Amino acid sequence: MRNVSCSYPASLSAVVCACSGLCVSFCLWPYRTGFLAFFVLIPFIIFSGLRDGRGRFLLNSFVFGMGYFMGSLYWIALLEREQITVPWLRLPAAIVLCLYLSLFMLITGFMTRRLIRLRIPYEVAFAVSWWAIEYLRSLGPLGFPWVSIGYSQTPYIPVIQQASVIGLYGVSAWLVLVNGLLSRFIASRRVASLGVAIVVFAVPVIWGLTTLSQTEPEDTARLSLIQPNISGTVKWDQAFAESTMYMLWEMSADARSSDMIVWPETAVPFHLTHSPGSLDDVITLAEDLEMSLLLGFPDYEELDGQFRFFNSALFVTPAGGRIAEYRKIHLVPFGEMIPFEDRIEILRRIDLGEGDFSPGDEYTVFELDTLKFAVAICFESIYPDLVRGFVRRGAGFIVNITNDEWFGPSLGPYQHAQMAVMRAVEFRVGLARCANTGISMFVDPYGRITSQTELFKRRILTGDVVVGSGETLYLKAGKYLETGVLIIVLALALVSYVLPGVGAREVPGPTPG
Best mean pLDDT range from 30-34, 347-351, 396-400: 396-400
Distance CA 392, CA 394 (A): 5
Q: Is the pLDDT of residue 430 over 80?
A: yes
Element counts in the chain: helices (H) and strands (E)? 15, 12
Task: Give yes or no: residues 77 and 129 share one domain.
Answer: yes
Across-strand partners of 471? none
Distance CA 263, CA 274 (A): 19
Owning domain of residue 64: 9-213+475-498
Q: Is the pLDDT of residue 504 over 50?
A: no
User: Using one digit for the tens of pLDDT, what is the confidence trace for 89-103?
Assistant: 788 889 999 999 999
Task: Give yes or no: residues 177 and 256 share one domain.
Answer: no
Instruction: Determine the pLDDT at residue 513.
Output: 33
Least confident of 34-38, 64-68, 333-337: 333-337
Helical (H) or strand (E) element with 302: strand 292-303
Give the number of other CB atoms < 10 A from CB of residue 452: 18
Instruction: Determine the pLDDT at residue 510.
Output: 38
Q: How large a percentage of the chain has pLDDT more than 90?
A: 72
User: Using one digit for the tens of pLDDT, what is the confidence trace for 380-393?
Assistant: 999 999 999 999 99
The answer to the question of residue 511 being in a domain is no
Instruction: Determine the pLDDT at residue 342.
Output: 66
As a whole number, mean pLDDT of residues 388-413 equals: 95
Sign of CA dihedral 202, 208, 212, 215: positive
**What pLDDT band is residue 2 in, cutting at 50, 70 and 90?**
very low
Cα 504 to Cα 3, 22, 46, 115, 362: the distances in Å are 15, 31, 18, 11, 51
Instruction: Determine the pLDDT at residue 272.
Output: 87
> Exposed, middle or buried by CB within 10 Å (0-12, 13-18, 19+), for 277?
exposed
What does the mean pLDDT of the chain come to?
90
Query: Cα-flanking dihedrals φ and ψ of residue 305, to 5°?
Result: 80, 0
Residues in Cβ contact with 82 at an 8 Å cutoff, skipping those fewer than 6 apart: 232, 233
Task: Give yes or no: residues 339 and 208 share one domain.
Answer: no
The residues annotated with a catalytic role in the active site are 265, 328, 378
As a whole number, mean pLDDT of residues 319-337 equals: 83
User: Using one digit for the tens of pLDDT, what is the confidence trace for 341-362?
Assistant: 666 665 555 555 546 789 999 9
Task: Give yes or no: residues 348 and 274 share one domain.
Answer: yes
Task: Give yes or no: residues 459 and 481 share one domain.
Answer: no
Across-strand partners of 262? 225, 294
Across-strand partners of 333? 337
The answer to the question of residue 508 being in a domain is no
Q: Cβ distance 419 to 383 under 8 Å? A: no
Instruction: Determine the pLDDT at residue 235.
Output: 74
The answer to the question of residue 151 being in a domain is yes
Instruction: Determine the pLDDT at residue 423.
Output: 98
The answer to the question of residue 503 being in a domain is no
Best mean pLDDT range from 185-189, 434-438, 499-503: 434-438
The answer to the question of residue 16 being in a domain is yes
CA atoms within 13 A on the CB side of 429: 32
Instruction: Determine the pLDDT at residue 338.
Output: 73
CA atoms within 13 A on the CB side of 280: 3
User: Using one digit for the tens of pLDDT, what is the confidence trace for 77-133?
Assistant: 988 765 566 666 788 889 999 999 999 999 999 999 999 999 999 999 999 999 999
Task: Give yes or no: residues 150 and 271 share one domain.
Answer: no
As a whole number, mean pLDDT of residues 303-326 equals: 87
Task: Give yes or no: residues 207 and 254 share one domain.
Answer: no
Task: Give yes or no: residues 203 and 229 share one domain.
Answer: no
Task: Give yes or no: residues 301 and 429 share one domain.
Answer: yes
The answer to the question of residue 236 being in a domain is yes
Task: Give yes or no: residues 308 and 409 share one domain.
Answer: yes
The answer to the question of residue 2 being in a domain is no
CA-wise closest residue to 261 among 235, 238, 234, 282: 282
Task: Give yes or no: residues 491 and 436 share one domain.
Answer: no
Q: What is the CATH number of the domain that holds 367?
A: 3.60.110.10
Q: Is the pLDDT of residue 304 over 90?
A: no
The answer to the question of residue 57 being in a domain is yes
Pair type for strands 397-402 and 371-377: parallel
Q: Count of domains in the chain?
A: 2
Query: Cα-flanking dihedrals φ and ψ of residue 170, to 5°?
Result: -70, -40
Instruction: Determine the pLDDT at residue 323.
Output: 80
Greater pLDDT, 348 or 23: 23
Instruction: Determine the pLDDT at residue 90.
Output: 80
Task: Give yes or no: residues 273 and 414 share one domain.
Answer: yes
